[in-house]
Structure 1
């Protein structure tokens, strides 16, 4: 690889966000903008959610982010053909001039989130301007990288957060000024969220935003596998090139706090009875004969004082807590900070999955990671597996560990709301 083009970036610190010409759906060529959007690829519950999205509109973005074919190579080729066809037919059109995009999400419960979408320069080794906080699964990175190679496109922005100033900043001022203008698009998706998008194309305003963001460090809130994919593909292409950048949404959580939810586990080949039997003498297990909301409340109460999990799949719930300290001492690595060793996800992966249940965490045949609580329980009951419901981690714990350079177990957190996929894409072709 030609590294000469990266030498300048080695000394660069802070976030460098670059405008781009967004690739967007022509609203006159699709049924509705809501019908062509999708949750991020890893949030789509398969196969039910995938089929629902595919049938909602023949041009739904899921046909690009999760193409369906007999083999991985065929899936990638299909996505590339679909993208070329949609561009040729004018389904997807490129904005006339480069810009940064202001993106807004609203919900009826009062939630308001706004951020800036742009092409972020990928930092060099040793540059900690972007902090990951979770491990990744190599096979997922390989899958995403193969899709991006085939399509030469970033279909979905990563969600990054940073902590801005309480006082108005050039970025916050630009965001709020944009939100007072008529949007490029506005739509309400099936989940009730209202989405609006604006572009900022004025060079002076863009320069002010860039100067402001250059002072900040960002945390990856969602998209660790795509971030690892960006970095892998950047290493494959001589710099400078479009692969030096990746599509991101940057949200200032000092102004727009995110919500942190858990990501649950579905153990396909482990019946609940077998999972509970393996815990005998090592964890306290209590049956919770109550509706899901009450069972989750019991989980939250138990998690406030120590490691706790809720197992489901046999028609009821089982609260698992009070792990044997000697068992934890034997199974949890001692070379990490206490905040990492006591994470529920750490205990789940090192003690329960690896030691007691013997479930390989990186095998899709044995374990699925699902954001939706109801879907996790329903699939476990239908398939005879075990749902392991988790309690969310506080954002400050995530950020503190990331600053220490300590990554959490994969799929430990779910920050949101996540940006809808399909509102603005980035092509890497000239």
Structure 2
């Protein structure tokens, strides 16, 4: 019986909303980031990148404190206002290729800890602790955890009824996205939505494992100060609306292998084809792309040589770990290993090639995306995907709806 509750969001004033919201900070290249910070004084990026004000790169606790200061300044200057009563928030986004609608609410840390909110992916421990400290100091969360559930006609009917009313926001952004938000404050409607989700056996984390685990750590430390620490902001969306993409892997060295000996080791489990400069992107499960020493390769799993005992064994990121990363490249602890990195994006294989050509990494692997069914099967079996196994959209803009922690 998962618990969700309304909360008093902090959000941009309607006339500034299109200027305030931003993509995730890591999505911006240096030139685009510089332009937005220079020419848009309302951008939430000024909060996330407080050192820009002083033309100085700031990290760690010093940065966290300045993020808090910029956030308070935005509130003092009335760029951001707080809701007067607790609410759920229905959010609709349309871009040239996708459309999705979901409910922004506060989800229970206790449900996360008791597995009523199911996980499917391992997290990186240093990121959990770092983001917990970030949340503790800045006092707010601007990016919700993406929770998903099996498509539900009753929820869909309720959202369609809400959409018939006038939205609190309706604006478009320069990336051709249309944004609408409806505030849901009617007590009877809130109770109905809560009852529907309380009758579900489970919710699933689609995206935001680090955010939810960090929120759990924060609740253990701060939960007695105020009940707001015992919840985290979530975006609840039906599973048919999810789009899952791959995270690729880059490794800094070959663990003492020569190129030739490394390829011979791979040959035990894979049919290998050198494709030269032809960019190969996997088109099905158990096919992998590899870039090594100036050439792309396709790696096809040899049938019958890898035993699949459960849903996790069938997952490509786990298979890559079991057959390549751990036994050949010597990467045992994915949560803490510094020799491996992860990347995603529309041109990711080209980015991977560039980083390897420049000597930052020795080898890179491209994967085929996991499916919603794989994700749920692994979560239902209480198993964990390796870190960074899925890159899932939708991703809500930062600063659209903000969850602030309170202190008594």
TM-score range, shorter chain: 0.7 to 0.9
Question: Counterparts of 2:69 and 2:260 in 1: how far apart (Å)?
Answer: 48
Question: Counterparts of 1:320 and 1:107 in 2: how far apart (Å)?
Answer: 35
Task: Report whether the alignment pairs 1:278 with 2:228.
Answer: no
- Which of these residues, 206, 219, 233, is aligned with residue 221 of structure 1? 206
Question: Counterparts of 1:367 and 1:52 in 2: how far apart (Å)?
Answer: 31
Q: 1:314, 1:381 within 8 Å by CA — same for their partners in 2?
A: no
Following TM superposition, by how much is the alpha carbon of 1:57 offset from its aligned partner in structure 2, in angstroms? 2.9
Q: 1:313, 1:378 within 8 Å by CA — same for their partners in 2?
A: no
- Which of these residues, 47, 67, 71, is aligned with residue 79 of structure 1? 67
Q: TM-score, normalised by structure 2?
A: 0.85
Structure 1 residues without counterparts, runs of 5 or longer: 1-13
Task: Write the mapping of 1:205-354 to structure 2, written as runs, cut at 5 A.
Answer: 205-216=189-200, 217-239=202-224, 241-253=227-239, 256-268=240-252, 277-280=261-264, 281-282=267-268, 283-288=270-275, 292=279, 295-296=280-281, 299-301=282-284, 303=285, 307-312=286-291, 316-322=295-301, 337-354=309-326
Deviations 1:65-98 (A, max 9, x none): 5666443111211211111111112121112222
Q: Which residue of 1 aligns with 2:109?
A: 122
Q: 1:262, 1:393 within 8 Å by CA — same for their partners in 2?
A: yes
- Which of these residues, 147, 158, 165, is aligned with residue 174 of structure 1? 158
RMSD of aligned residue pairs (Cα, Å): 3.0
Deviations 1:100-127 (A, max 9, x none): 0001122223x32111001112225873
Q: Which residue of 1 aligns with 2:127?
A: 140
Q: Which residue of 1 aligns with 2:390?
A: 413
Question: Counterparts of 1:402 and 1:71 in 2: how far apart (Å)?
Answer: 35
- Summarize the Cα distance change of 1:191–1:376 in structure 2 as closer, same or farther, 3 Å threshold: farther
Question: Counterparts of 2:320 and 2:47 in 1: how far apart (Å)?
Answer: 33
Q: Secondary structure at the match of 1:93?
A: strand
Q: Secondary structure at the match of 1:279?
A: helix
Following TM superposition, by how much is the alpha carbon of 1:356 offset from its aligned partner in structure 2, in angstroms? 1.5
- Summarize the Cα distance change of 1:213–1:146 in structure 2 as closer, same or farther, 3 Å threshold: same
Deviations 1:237-294 (A, max 9, x none): 24452101110000123xx4311111122334569x96675132333221235764xx
Deviations 1:3-61 (A, max 9, x none): xxxxxxxxxxx222111111112254x5xx444333345x6366677556645634433
- Summarize the Cα distance change of 1:118–1:377 in structure 2 as closer, same or farther, 3 Å threshold: same
Task: Report whether the alignment pairs 1:356 with 2:343.
Answer: no
Q: Secondary structure at the match of 1:243?
A: helix
- Which of these residues, 77, 89, 98, is aligned with residue 101 of structure 1? 89
Question: Counterparts of 1:374 and 1:38 in 2: how far apart (Å)?
Answer: 21
Task: Write the mapping of 1:51-90 to structure 2, written as runs, cut at 5 A.
Answer: 51=34, 54-55=37-38, 57-65=40-48, 69-90=57-78
Aligned residues: 391
